């Protein structure tokens, strides 16, 4: 369904991603923002131009807006960088001011690597390939 090389996802493909994220949240009993995060990092590798479109209707976006306010998003070398209006940068542990793990822990969302990998496998089995 989704493979590297897509310039931008169609609306139907975005709907499919949101549906798969919801299925993963229910299946693994995690908050939808966590399964959205996993989808976001996969999309950054597959179709970086569609990450912002995916986030538009995601629980992860609602969590970020509710917690830190508006933000600007950039995808650099398959890495999602979130620049909040307060100047803080949310990205991978070695680059930003705050890591995704720290951000989720601050929002009382468990960042479980084992569950993250299970969700990635589910997405892969659903045809979302990187």
Asked if residue 122 lies in contact with residue 23, where contact means CB atoms within 8 angstroms, the answer is: yes
Supply 35's token pair.
């399964």
Strand partners, 128: 2
Q: Return the pLDDT at 77.
A: 82
Chain position carrying tokens 């709907």: 15
Q: Return the pLDDT at 79.
A: 87
Q: Return the pLDDT at 4.
A: 55
pLDDT tens-digit map of 48-85: 999 999 999 999 999 999 989 999 999 988 889 999 99
DSSP, residue by residue, 9-75: --HHHHHHHHHHHHHHHHHHT--HHHHHHHHHHHHHHH-GGGHHHHHHT-HHHHHHHHHH--EEEEE
Q: Return the pLDDT at 80.
A: 92
pLDDT tens-digit map of 100-123: 999 999 999 999 999 999 999 999
Q: Determine how β-strand 71-76 pairs with β-strand 79-84.
A: antiparallel
Distance from C-alpha of 124 to C-alpha of 3, rounded to nearest angstrom: 10
pTM: 0.91
Distance from C-alpha of 1 to C-alpha of 21, rounded to nearest angstrom: 15
Q: How remote is the C-alpha of 76 from its chain's centroid?
A: 14
∠ CA 97-116-79, rounded to 5°? 40
Chain position carrying tokens 């991978």: 92
Kindly tell me if the per-residue pLDDT of 5 is higher than 70.
Answer: no
């Amino acid at each position: 369904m989704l493979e590297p090389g897509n310039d931008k996802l169609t609306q139907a493909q975005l709907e499919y991603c949101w549906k798969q994220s919801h299925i993963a949240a229910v299946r693994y009993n995690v908050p939808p923002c966590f399964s959205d995060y996993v989808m976001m990092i996969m999309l950054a590798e597959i179709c970086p131009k569609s990450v912002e479109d995916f986030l538009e209707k995601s629980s992860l976006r609602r969590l970020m807006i509710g917690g830190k306010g508006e933000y600007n998003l950039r995808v650099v070398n398959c890495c999602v960088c979130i620049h909040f209006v307060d100047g803080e940068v949310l990205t991978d542990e070695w680059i930003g001011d705050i890591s995704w793990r720290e951000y989720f822990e601050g929002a009382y969302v468990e960042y479980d690597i084992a569950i993250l990998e299970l969700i990635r496998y589910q997405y892969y089995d659903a045809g979302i390939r990187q």
